[in-house]
Each structure stands twice: as structure tokens, then as C-alpha cells.
Amino acid sequence: MPTHSPASGRRKVRLKHRLIPSPSMATTFYHQGKQWYLWAQKAPDIAGNSNIYLAELENPWTIKGRAGKTQ
């Protein structure tokens, strides 16, 4: 369930998606009228360092479609 702190202007939510990011490595932002979720994480099936993922949000707690990875 989302919680909202009027003092901080931030909202805590639980996102549902295949990869599980660290909350400290994630942020949301709005761009051109859409809300986006950006996070860093090491994918279990990709060798090397952490990856950066970007996904459009359907609402503050649901990712729309599949997340994309930057290279």
C-alpha cells in the first residue's frame, strides 16, 4: 500500500516487476508527461558490473510493459 509523507514530498510504494532493485539505487521522475522508474542492479544472467534499467510507470507502483537496459 502506498504511503505518502506531505513533509517530504515523497511517496513509498512497492513496485512489482521481474528484477528486484535495491531501493537505495532507484528513483522515479516525470518527463514529457510520463512517469519513469530508473534503477541500478546486477542482473543474474549478465556477467560484469551492475546495469542501469529504465521503465515507464503505468501508475506509481506498476511498471508498464518491460524494462529496458542501457548499454
pLDDT given at position 14: 59
pLDDT given at position 31: 94
- Condensed to tens digits (0 to 9), the pLDDT of residues 15-66 reads 555 555 555 678 889 999 999 988 888 777 777 777 888 889 998 888 887 6
In a domain, 59, yes or no: yes
pLDDT given at position 35: 93
In a domain, 42, yes or no: yes
Structural contact between residues 38 and 52, judged by C-beta atoms closer than 8 angstroms: yes
In a domain, 8, yes or no: no
Range of the domain at 70: 26-71
Structural contact between residues 19 and 41, judged by C-beta atoms closer than 8 angstroms: yes
Q: pTM to 2 decimals?
A: 0.58
The one-letter amino acid at 17:
H
> Into how many domains does the chain fold?
1
Instruction: State the cell numbers at 27.
Output: 528513483
